[in-house]
Structure 1
Amino acid sequence: MEEKEQLFTVFEKLLNIKNQCSSDVLCECGSPDITIKQVRYLQVIDEHGEITFSRLAEITRNSKPTISEMINKFIRMEYVYKKRSPVDGRTYYICLTDKGQTICRREQIALLKLTERMAFSLDENEMSTLIGILGKVR
């Protein structure tokens, strides 16, 4: 059990560093109040392009009212906008604004910063070992 506890502690520290990188990057782009969870929702929207409320609720395992509340908040923050379906006027698609797209790209930059910190902290052999070990995780 001691090894699992050590693994937990190490990964907790790694995730804290990653979250700090994310926070730093989001502050740099003028969005310090967005949470990591909210960024993840924006990334889901980004991955799917135009996505319906129902589909986003399904993917994120949330209720439609929860998604509606979140999207309305994102609209106020100017991260997304709603677009009416040309086929079915009752259906709306959620789309990222330029600001929303920027946040998604910034999160990728945060991950690169974490990777750079790891690379700076490890020698070549340690880096190869880490890549091999993490490559086994499923």
Structure 2
Amino acid sequence: MSKEKSSFSLKKEDPSLKLFVVLSKTYRAMMNEAAIDMRSKGLNLTEFAVLELLYHRGEQPLKKIGEKILLTSGSITYVIDKLEKKNYIYRKHSPHDGRVTFAYISDKGITLLDSIFPDHWRKIEEILEGLNKDEKTQAINLLKKLGTSIKS
């Protein structure tokens, strides 16, 4: 047997795979906790993401909502339908282009987010309490660096 290391064993020395696994597991654990929190408030994570986007950014074309929260057009229509039935949002066709439909957050949706956001913020702080403020800032910077270096 050769004393030279195989390319696979050299790759095992690189922590890339381990980092990928750890990031994946951490993301899943954080999202599970956030999902439990949202379900306790009568929403799923996707519904909350749509409401939060409209709350902070105002009216949005349905296509743009799908792009921003990574949903297909069929999925975004389903979520918008559910939120509309709950009277948290409403839609309106663009006066300039009838093919474009905008979603707007309703007063009921604003009231809902006003009431749940403070607790949700505390839950996020609780989820991330394993890091101090400086570590959170360092993690943000490292993850941004990683994200911008990925060629899509």
The two structures have a TM-score, normalised by structure 1, of 0.64
Structure with max Cα Rg? 2
* Number of aligned residue pairs: 117
Residues 57 and 23 of structure 1: CA distance in aligned 2, closer, same or farther (over 3 Å):
closer
Residue number in structure 2 paired with 1:125: none
- Structure 2 residue 81 is matched with structure 1 residue 72: yes
Cα distance change, pair 64–21 in 1 and its aligned pair in 2 (3 A): closer
Give the corresponding residue for 2:118: 109
**Structure 1 residue matching 2:132: 3-state secondary structure:** helix
Give the structure, 1 or 2, with the largest relative contact order (CA under 8 Å, sep 6 or more): 1
Q: Which residue of structure 2 aligns with residue 132 of structure 1?
A: 134
**CA separation of 1:137 and 1:58: change in aligned 2, threshold 3 A:** same
Q: Which runs of 5+ in 1 are unaligned?
A: 27-31, 123-128
Instruction: Give the 4+ runs in structure 1 shifted more than 4 A.
Output: 18-24, 115-118
Of 57, 79, 99, which aligns to 2:66? Answer: 57
Q: Which amino acid aligns with 2:92?
A: K
Note closer, same or farther for the CA distance 1:55–1:22 as it changes in structure 2 (3 Å cut). Answer: closer
Name the % identity: 18
Change (3 A) 1:74 1:23: closer
Q: Following TM superposition, by how much is the alpha carbon of 1:111 offset from its aligned partner in structure 2, in angstroms?
A: 3.5
The answer as to whether partners of 1:39 and 1:103 remain within 8 angstroms in 2 is no
User: C-alpha displacement at 1:108, in angstroms?
Assistant: 2.4
What value does the CA root-mean-square deviation take over the aligned residues?
3.2
